[in-house]
């Protein structure tokens, strides 16, 4: 078992408290998402051994493609998990952009395909398709994009929602970027099974995550495919469990009850099944937020999307991650508040434990070669 860890770029801003909003709700932190600050987070992720950073997409954050392109020059090995929405860009242009990104970055692009589940936000972008249509369109989009990436002959495709004719890509991405894809509703499963390389899910209790992975595995087998699986979750890890829970309590104490009411009302309008499952974990209440050992649902009170955090000592968090890994999770896409400092808490506290257990290795650090002894073994003359 070899686990991969990824961090998060808070392109709507960062804070020492929970940043309120997201997923169709206005969102901003008191630490602006300046390029200078994002460069600090990228550097922290790279030095601590995170393989990539996820850059979100939505009306509440900076554009993912432009932001990550600006960070390529200041990083060396860090990859960028760029989120994009199929309904807002043509498949040919997306395939072309991926080729450009790979060439200029030295092959450091990963793609997170987001179908979208907030009607108000989708309409702001000019997308009035219903949920079923969005997933069908996503499948057609990925079919065309992957065909373009792998074909040296022109592609013609006539789908229900997308059409291309004699489309030939001249700058094929090298390597072809892996596609990360998430979705908990019925229409999402077949798309994931056919086109995803890594299926992503949010941080529910291990048993619920395991059942969802079994669902996708079964669908993938029908298509003769085998997928990787990833977990999107927050972390609060400290030297002791008491310290970590004190941080969680402080985050909770800093939440304005009016913000909980406002954000919950907005998120209940979401068409996302995954968002509905996140809301059910806490029910909008601050009572009983530890929904499983070391799994805290407090983040989801005021933040859309991934709404849970692993909270505990470095050893406890490592153990919980191992439990998810045993269920089939190989990629962990993590975040924490503030993202700069929390990258070090996790990188210096949890990753060494996993490395000692043989479950993780720094992606760029190589074991030092044994020093060569000049002329050793040479016969004297």
Q: What is the pTM (predicted TM-score) of this model?
A: 0.94
Flag residues of the chain having pLDDT under 50.
367-381
**What's the token pair of residue 79?**
């990859």
Q: Residue 230 forms beta bridges with which residues?
A: 200, 331
Place of tokens 């030295």: 106
Contact 39, 85 (CB under 8 A): no
The sign one gets for the Cα dihedral 249, 250, 251, 252 is positive
pLDDT of residue 369: 39
Place of tokens 């074991």: 367
Q: Residue 231 forms beta bridges with which residues?
A: 201, 332
CA distance 287 to 267: 19
CA distance 60 to 266: 14
Within 20-108, strands assigned E span: 52-55, 79-84
Alpha helices in 171-282 (DSSP H): 188-195, 206-222, 241-253, 257-267, 273-282
Of 60, 85, 117, 116, which is closest to residue 268 (Cα–Cα)? 117
pLDDT of residue 366: 55
pLDDT of residue 215: 97
Alpha helices in the chain (DSSP H): 35-48, 64-71, 91-105, 119-124, 131-150, 188-195, 206-222, 241-253, 257-267, 273-282, 314-327, 339-349, 351-356
CA distance 39 to 34: 9
CA distance 324 to 228: 13
pLDDT of residue 376: 41
**What's the token pair of residue 90?**
């043509």
pLDDT of residue 381: 35
CA distance 259 to 257: 5
Contacts of 156 (CB under 8 A, 6+ apart): 164, 165, 166, 167
pLDDT tens digits, one per residue of 190-206: 999 999 999 999 999 99
**What's the token pair of residue 357?**
């257990």
């Amino acid at each position: 078992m070899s686990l991969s860890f990824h961090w998060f770029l808070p392109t709507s801003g960062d804070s020492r408290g929970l940043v309120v909003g997201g997923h169709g709700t206005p969102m901003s932190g008191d630490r602006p998402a300046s390029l200078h600050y994002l460069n600090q987070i990228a550097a922290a992720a790279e030095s601590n051994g995170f393989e990539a950073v996820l850059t979100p997409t939505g009306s509440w954050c900076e554009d993912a493609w432009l932001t990550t392109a600006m960070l390529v020059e200041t990083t060396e090995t860090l990859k960028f998990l760029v989120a994009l929405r199929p309904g807002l860009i043509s498949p040919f242009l997306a395939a072309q952009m991926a080729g450009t990104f790979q060439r200029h970055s030295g092959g450091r692009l990963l793609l997170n395909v987001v179908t979208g589940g907030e009607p108000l936000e989708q309409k702001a972008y000019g997308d009035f398709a219903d949920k079923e249509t969005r997933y069908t369109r996503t499948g057609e989009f990925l079919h065309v994009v992957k065909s373009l990436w792998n074909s040296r002959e022109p592609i013609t495709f006539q789908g229900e929602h997308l059409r291309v004719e004699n489309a030939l890509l001249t700058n094929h991405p090298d390597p072809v970027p892996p596609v990360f894809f998430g979705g908990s509703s019925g229409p999402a499963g077949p798309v994931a099974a056919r086109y995803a390389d890594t299926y992503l899910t949010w941080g529910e209790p291990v048993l619920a995550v395991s059942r969802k992975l079994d669902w996708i595995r079964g669908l993938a087998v029908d298509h003769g495919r085998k997928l990787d699986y990833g977990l999107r979750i927050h972390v609060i890890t400290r030297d002791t469990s008491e310290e970590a829970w004190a941080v969680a309590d402080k985050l909770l104490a800093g939440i304005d009850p009016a913000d909980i009411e406002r954000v919950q009302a907005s998120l209940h309008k979401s068409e996302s099944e995954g968002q509905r499952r996140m809301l059910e974990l806490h029910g909008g209440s601050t009572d009983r937020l530890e929904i499983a050992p070391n799994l805290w649902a407090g983040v989801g009170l005021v933040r859309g999307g991934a709404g849970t955090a692993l909270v505990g000592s470095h050893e406890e968090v490592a153990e919980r991650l191992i439990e998810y890994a045993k269920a089939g999770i190989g990629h962990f896409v993590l975040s924490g508040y503030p993202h700069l400092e929390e990258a070090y808490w996790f990188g210096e506290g949890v990753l060494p434990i996993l490395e000692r257990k043989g479950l993780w290795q720094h992606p760029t650090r190589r074991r030092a070669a044994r020093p060569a002894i000049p002329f050793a073994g040479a016969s004297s003359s």
